[in-house]
Structure 1
């Protein structure tokens, strides 16, 4: 992994001066699937820019149950970590690698400086906030207004888009944790979706038709 990827991924987003600054101050890190990138209550000194891979952003309740909030794709950043950095508070989310991922970590001081003096960075941050806000509203609407089978099918569709594949290698337990329900419920609803000819099930694999 080299700084060339920074150039390739963000050339159409940031101006050339900012890209050179990111190359100088950014710390490139790689994570394996299921690695925790940012944890709840972790002090935040850097914010992540995702170069490749996918990251899922989770919240946790008082009993330790996780709820999926949204996914990050390459070229994006986590606005919930941005908010914590701006307020110098600890992380309120858990960021987990959905698959092997590479990131460039930006020091908080640079993030704040660029917001004030670089238009391309400021526009990127504001657009990121809008995107994440829309996704969180969508997540709230799904929980409040959609039946679990509808939420599950939407979840599977979103997964196929993230992985650019109609075949998902995923366990029922992993889905149940993301959707904050039981594995038994997920297994029953997956079978229902299969009977409706929307998916095809096999061991630890789901094909979305």
Structure 2
């Protein structure tokens, strides 16, 4: 655990903070599609992602989901941080997009480190800014982009997060993430294939053009 922390966070955190994280953090490994955090959960800590990718979604009162953003190596979840600090219930659902590794940090240390370590304070502020910008981008895509543009952006963003141009997913899973129907997604995927941007396979989409 210490080695991975050093690899991904040594340029962010002081050695003393990394030592504390090793002492109090809980290592966790997630399988693909395993739930990390669910709506309404009480947050006892926050995750630092060491490996993999985590999908963050919101759900409306009718149970419909929409993708907010992805977490990747070196990220933390600002939403879970806010819930842990305020002792509130979690307002998001976090699911492993692929096999992932993380360290869970106890909420009792979060306030203490804000005062004790400038690097932690900067990391938290930067995380909030990044997540806010990503959510604003999500709002922009919903408001201003056509569905085919949203779909192509979703595919290329996900390929970058997964570090793989071959996405193993179904049309229905994409429809859930983009809050639309499978029929619409299937039609638009075929359109993107005809444009030479992707290649469709069974339960796999190959990104040909970025």
- TM-score bin, normalised by smaller chain: over 0.9
In the other structure, the counterpart of 2:26 is: 27
3-state SS of 1:102 partner: strand
User: RMSD of aligned C-alpha atoms?
Assistant: 0.8
Instruction: Find runs of 4+ consecutive structure 1 residues off by over 4 angstroms.
Output: none
User: 1:82-112 CA deviation, whole Å, 9 max, x = no partner?
Assistant: 1111211010000000100011000001011
Structure 1 unaligned segments of length 5 or more: list them. Answer: none
In the other structure, the counterpart of 1:117 is: 116
For 2:183 and 2:134, how far apart are their aligned partners in 1?
27
For 1:183 and 1:207, how far apart are their aligned partners in 2?
18
TM-score relative to the length of structure 1: 0.97
2:104 pairs with 1:105: yes
In the other structure, the counterpart of 1:43 is: 42
3-state SS of 1:165 partner: coil
How do residues 197-208 of structure 1 correspond to structure 2 at under 5 angstroms?
Answer: 197-208=196-207
User: 1:172-198 CA deviation, whole Å, 9 max, x = no partner?
Assistant: 111011111111110011011111111
Aligned length: 208
Task: Give the deviation of 1:16 after TM superposition.
Answer: 0.5
Which shows bigger deviation, 34-43 or 5-14? 5-14
For 1:57 and 1:126, how far apart are their aligned partners in 2?
19
In the other structure, the counterpart of 2:92 is: 93
3-state SS of 1:201 partner: strand
In the other structure, the counterpart of 2:165 is: 166
